Amino acid sequence: MQTNLAERYANTADGREAEDILRKCVHCGFCTATCPTYQLLGDELDGPRGRIYQIKEVLEGATPTASMQTHLDRCLTCRSCETTCPSGVDYGRLADIGRKIVEDEVGRSWMQTLIRQALIVVIPNRQLFSVLMRLGQIFRPMMPAPIRRKIPQKQTAGLWPVREHSRRMLVLEACAQPSATPNVNAAAARVLDRLGVQLIAAKEAACCGAVAHHLSDHDRSFDAIKRNIDAWWPLVEQGAEAIVITASGCGVMVKEYGHLLADDPLYAEKAQRISALTRDISEVLSNEDLGSLKVRGAKTLAFHSPCTLQHGQ
C-alpha cells in the first residue's frame, strides 16, 4: 500500500516502522475473514483492513477521531489476522503504534482515563492485585452470576520442588497469575523437576509490561521490560536454558522485548537474547522426553492453544 507519511511522523522510529508495515499490505482483505470483531460486528472499520486504513490515514496527517479510537479499542490483539495475511503484515505492531498516536491526540473522558489508569496501576501490582483477588474470592458467592464467573475460585499452589539440577530454566511469575491461578507455575516446576530441570523464579521479575503497553502507556511498559531483563540477566549469564512462560499473553510480549528495545543502546542486545530464550511451557515440553515421566492411565487431556500462542508466537 503506497503511503505518504506526514512530516511529523516521517522522521520518527515508530513512523518508519509503521510505513514499512503499511507498504506490505496489498489491501486484499483475506484477514477480515478470520477477524473475530469483524465477524461479530460486520463493519469493515472493525476489521484489520479497516483498522490498517484508519492508522494509515492518521499517519498521513488526518486528525484522529474518537470514532477511530473506538474501532482501535475494539481490536482484541488476538493477531489472527497476522497468520491469515499472505503478505506478512505485522498488524500487532502497527496497532500498538496507531493506538499510541490516537491516544495522545484524542484523549479520553475522565471516567475512561480513571478505569485505564486503575488497570495499569492495579493489575501489575502483585500485592495489591492479590488482596483484591482474595476479597473477590471471599465475596464471590454473594455476587451476581456474570461477575462470579469472572472470579476464579481460590486455588492452592502445590509444592515447589527443592531439588537442584544442572539444567535450569527461569519462569516468569507475572502479575495476576500468582493470585488467580498459583498452581500453574508450581505444577510446571514439578513436571520439569521430574524431567531433570530446575525451574527458578527470579524474585525481582514481575509483570511482563503487556498491560501498560496495550493501554498505550509505553513509558511504563518499557520500565517493566527493563526491570525484568535486569532481574533475569545474571541467571541467564549463569546458564539458564530458557525463560519459561505459562501465560501466552505474557509470552508474546516477552518474545517482543528484542524488537521493542532494538534501538536502546543499553538494552538492545540483552533484550534480543531474552526474547530468543523465551518459550511457552508447551514449547518446552514438546522438546523433552515425556516418556520418562512414566505417566500411566488412559486419561485423555485437552490442550487449549490461546490466540496469543497460535498467532503471536
Q: Contact positions toward ligand SF4, by CB under 6 A? A: 25-31, 35-37, 48-49, 51-52, 75-81, 84-85, 87, 89, 91
For residue 256, the tally of other CB atoms under 10 A from its CB is: 23
| Residue 22 near residue 56, CB atoms below 8 Å | yes
Phi-psi region of 239 (alpha: psi -120 to 50; beta: other; left: phi over 0): left
Quote the least distance from Cβ 58 to ligand SF4, whole Å: 16
| CB nearer to ligand SF4: pick between 30 and 233 | 30
Quote the least distance from Cβ 246 to ligand SF4, whole Å: 22
What span, in angstroms and rounded, lies between the C-alpha atoms of 206 and 109?
30
Quote the least distance from Cβ 174 to ligand SF4, whole Å: 21
| CB nearer to ligand SF4: pick between 24 and 190 | 24
| CB nearer to ligand SF4: pick between 55 and 192 | 55
**Angle 29-34-40 (CA atoms, 0-180°, nearest 5)?**
100
Quote the least distance from Cβ 277 to ligand SF4, whole Å: 26
Quote the least distance from Cβ 281 to ligand SF4, whole Å: 23
| CB nearer to ligand SF4: pick between 90 and 264 | 90
Phi-psi region of 294 (alpha: psi -120 to 50; beta: other; left: phi over 0): left
| CB nearer to ligand SF4: pick between 31 and 191 | 31
Cell of 7: 512530516
Cell of 34: 478470520
Residue in this structure with the C-alpha cell 474518537, named with its chain if needed: 66
Quote the least distance from Cβ 297 to ligand SF4, whole Å: 38
| CB nearer to ligand SF4: pick between 214 and 270 | 214
Q: How would DSSP label each residue in 64-109?
A: P-HHHHHHHHT-----HHHHH-TT---HHHHHHHHHHHHHHHH---
Among residues 107, 172, 180, 167, the alpha carbon closest in space to that of 137 is found at 180
Quote the least distance from Cβ 189 to ligand SF4, whole Å: 32
Q: Identify the helix (H) or strand (E) that includes residue 117.
A: helix 110-122
HSE, side-chain direction, 13 A CA sphere, residue 156: 2
| CB nearer to ligand SF4: pick between 49 and 220 | 49
| CB nearer to ligand SF4: pick between 37 and 179 | 37
Quote the least distance from Cβ 195 to ligand SF4, whole Å: 34
Query: Can you tell me whether residue 119 is helix, strand or coil?
Result: helix
Pairing of strands 278-280, 243-245: parallel
| CB nearer to ligand SF4: pick between 21 and 274 | 21
Quote the least distance from Cβ 3 to ligand SF4, whole Å: 13
What span, in angstroms and rounded, lies between the C-alpha atoms of 188 and 77?
27
Number of helices (H), then strands (E), in the chain: 19, 4
